[in-house]
Chain A
């Protein structure tokens, strides 16, 4: 079936370093790729998204890259800060269905 694979499941980095989370998807028709951040006990919040007509999008310390040929997209966080600690989910739509499929999540811990 259609799915989204996300790696790694946990990631620990030193404050100030960069973090990269990668996702692969199976539906070649997928054309929208959001990233959500979920802090403990809170709602998932959209932090950045990318559509298939571009290969990269950046918003301050956060960037997303997309490789449609290889069917993978990545989240890059630079100059990490303690408040970046959270679970991050990638997602992709299933073509012909009105739904997003989420990756399994990455628990990111920023060590001071």
Chain B
């Protein structure tokens, strides 16, 4: 399996809802990433997990809560989001997340999130 998968593909939620985004890879990669992408903009890094431990949090608001239950799975828990959080949320993985980062990052198809 050489793909990163994400569910759901689309999500519409109200500002009081709690929802979760899921990401999975079976390539044996030990680094996983969450990115946020607004229309016509590049992906913007949110979180990096390395060997199931959170290694980078790009000052993301606490209404976004990442979780890495095991080396193949990555979740993003959402609570009390704002309309401006509407975006494409991309998961990515790489073999490692060494310093500096030189391993290819492979992206999932993304979850299109709309916050009403």
Contacts and interface: CB of A to CB of B under 8 A. Distances in A.
B45 A105 contact: no
Contacts, number: 66
B76 interface: no
Given A43-B110, A44-B107, A99-B56, A105 B102 contact: no
Interface stretch (A11-19, A30-38, A71-79): A30-38
B105 A105 contact: no
Interface residues of B, number: 25
Nearest to A4: B42
Range, interface on chain A: 20 to 34
Interface of B: 31, 40-43, 45, 48, 50, 55-56, 58, 90, 97-102, 104-110
Given A93-B100, A102-B43, 10 more contacts: A43-B109, A44-B43, A44-B90, A44-B107, A94-B101, A95-B100, A96-B100, A99-B101, A105-B40, A105-B42
